[in-house]
Structure 1
């Protein structure tokens, strides 16, 4: 892939993030991407391009994304994009074949549309009303069959929630955790992406979902002696009788649950993202 600097320079779209990052912070998200999007990566007629948007003050997440995608597609390429030029300069020594770093934001200034954009902990600092436009712009930069994964996680990657979107818009929401870190599934509420975090209130679907997940978790307490994983799987089984989960035990055993976006989409008359 040509270096990102080969595209005419323009002012990046977006706001500089805090830059917090650490090794393996996005491992759970990457693992899910490789499973869910692996077939599309393998079908690509040319080396698939992925973007790590807003990778932060250190390049670790972009380096790791390349390694994980190359287990699925050996010639995958990753472009790390940051608005802050100092972060780009600091990452340049880590460039290698298939891995580049450049200055950019929501405009995704690459010569070839990416098959994947990962935007982790980027929109958290924006207003809720800003999210639809950001999603639309990023999805508009995807190659045919591409995927945008946008969400939030804690500082060491124990708890994640992310939305997966295609060119047509949001598809699913995934809740993922190191299960030993949870007392109940609703502990993940603090990591809801910006589109949902202000909607965790009575009357909104995401609030009802987390309430029901907690109830299913409580009912699965007899499985606790067999470990948190078995308890999570049993709770997910029960939850799936009332909510449209789109995955199954194979993913649940990884501490994940994925549900269709339409089931959790905010009510138009709900609270604003103030």
Structure 2
């Protein structure tokens, strides 16, 4: 076997860390999962323990009972440690950004959480291109970053043709201002949070809308977030609606936040 493409990550992982990302995937990608002839998902770079792959299978099962998940890790010792957790619908394999799958299968989903954090910004486009090229025609790549226990998370969703959207998600009770999420921006955006860049302007407007919605805080952080999202949608291409906002999420078209 050729040497896997990529570098070993720190491997930090915790149970339930990726619940917000998984919940969003299960909701927004459900139609594609249901109509797929081969409902295959990949948890790329799952880390030192297999919890996130196990949880992804459980959450996608609610959408499609015959979904299959392959956890792929570049560190062979992590793959060996995960093998006892294999079960019907869940396997583990050694590999990297080449996404090795039997028979050249093309996954309907690749989830790469907290993988590109250690890479340079100028490496992101190449990795995205490589992963998108491996997707099935209706496939989705979800790449992003979260904190250690999954309270704050930002991810980019990409299709075979490239990036589509950016989603901000948080446990609202722990959020002081939306710009607190800046430290969890994906690698493609985290160094762009400076004046003159679209993502900086967006987070500025996000904070302003949050401050203006302060009276709604008396009804709870969720109502304040929903009001904030309504206000942002007047000036930014927000793609979702109150059904997702109630979950502490907000999704914006990629082109609006892409680096200048």
Q: Which TM-score band (shorter chain)?
A: over 0.9
Cα RMSD of the aligned pairs, angstroms, is 0.5
- The superposition leaves residues 135-194 of structure 1 with CA deviations (integer Å, 9 ceiling, x where unpaired) of 000000001110000000000000000000000000000000000111000000000000
Paired position in structure 1 for 2:214: 221
Q: Where do residues 1-274 of structure 1 align in structure 2 (5 Å cutoff)?
A: 9-46=1-38, 48-111=39-102, 112-267=105-260
Q: Give the 3-state SS of the residue equivalent to 2:16 in structure 1.
A: coil
Q: How many residue pairs are counted as aligned between the two chains?
A: 258
| CA distance, structure 2, for counterparts of residue 226 and residue 143 of structure 1 | 43
Moved over 2 A (4+): none
- The superposition leaves residues 21-58 of structure 1 with CA deviations (integer Å, 9 ceiling, x where unpaired) of 00000000000000111100000123x11000000000
| CA distance, structure 1, for counterparts of residue 209 and residue 125 of structure 2 | 32
- The superposition leaves residues 220-272 of structure 1 with CA deviations (integer Å, 9 ceiling, x where unpaired) of 000111110000000110011000000011100000000000000001xxxxx
| CA distance, structure 2, for counterparts of residue 12 and residue 67 of structure 1 | 28
Task: Give, in angstroms, the shift of residue 10 of structure 1.
Answer: 2.1
Structure 1, gaps ≥5 residues long: 1-8, 268-274
TM-score, normalised via structure 2 length: 0.99
| CA distance, structure 2, for counterparts of residue 44 and residue 113 of structure 1 | 11
Q: Give the 3-state SS of the residue equivalent to 1:62 in structure 2.
A: helix
| CA distance, structure 1, for counterparts of residue 232 and residue 137 of structure 2 | 33
| CA distance, structure 2, for counterparts of residue 86 and residue 45 of structure 1 | 33
